[in-house]
Amino acid sequence: MQFDDDLTACAGLVERGDPDRFAAAMAAPAPARAVLFPLYAFNLEVARAPWVTQETMIAEMRLQWWRDALEEIREGGTVRRHEVVTPLAGVLDAEGAALLDRLVGARRWDIYKDAFEDAAHFTRYIEETSGHLVLAAGRALGGLPEQVALDAGYASGLAQFLRAVPDLEAQGRVPLVDGRLDAVAALARGGLERLARVRASGVRNPALLACWQAGPLLRQAAREPGRVAAGALQLSEFRRRAGLMAAALRGRI
């Protein structure tokens, strides 16, 4: 796939709105970028949809628009013309479109202020948002086992969700099923266990590069869970850059 105007637009969207995934895509081999940028631009647009309006009906309609576009891709017929949807259709098969449809469905939680029902609901949300994105990317690129993708996506999604906890609470949300320090530490350790399975697999795939910060962030949360509520779960710019460079050189996280 050549970098046409649509792919360039996708790259620009990701660069402005999701600089970490932009950096990960740029660290991937050039052919992989043509797959990753449409997926990451899609994810960015879907993640934004529930937050750009206070009207729940409008937010639902925005998400439904993306579900309708994915259904067109899944059916293999005519797909609507759009700077993200058009190149996305070029990298997804029917199963990939179905995975991303479940991602969009999970994002409905972001529209409302209901707490997660239980720990299983929380895990499913992280897996279907972050995990399904990694899985769809791995499917499009080839060579990424499903469980490895879901484990890596869960670990990365959990790390980023923990970073977002203070902002979510400021907006009246109840982001954690159990916000006690020992429970937060246990949650982080669970993410690290899944990340350890990814590393033990020895799999190398460009779809994993976007998960490069998961380990250091989750180790922080496991050691010092108070960082989560304080909004202090973060890496220095040097550590971020060095970590991504090392992951790119190894070909794995």
Kindly report the pTM of this predicted structure: 0.96
Determine the number of helices (DSSP H) and then strands (DSSP E) in the chain.
Answer: 13, 0
Q: What is the mean pLDDT of each run of 10 residues along the chain (253 residues)?
A: 87 98 96 97 97 94 98 96 97 97 97 95 98 98 97 98 97 96 98 98 96 98 98 96 93 83
Residue among 59, 27, 70, 2 nearest 247 (CA): 27
User: In Å, how far are 153, 161, 176 from 123, measured between CA atoms?
Assistant: 11, 11, 11
Would you state the structure tokens that stand for residue 83, as one six-digit string? 């700077």
The amino acid that residue 188 corresponds to is A
pLDDT of residue 253: 87
For the chain, strand residue ranges (E) read none
Per-domain residue ranges of the chain: 1-112, 117-253
pLDDT of residue 2: 65
pLDDT of residue 3: 81
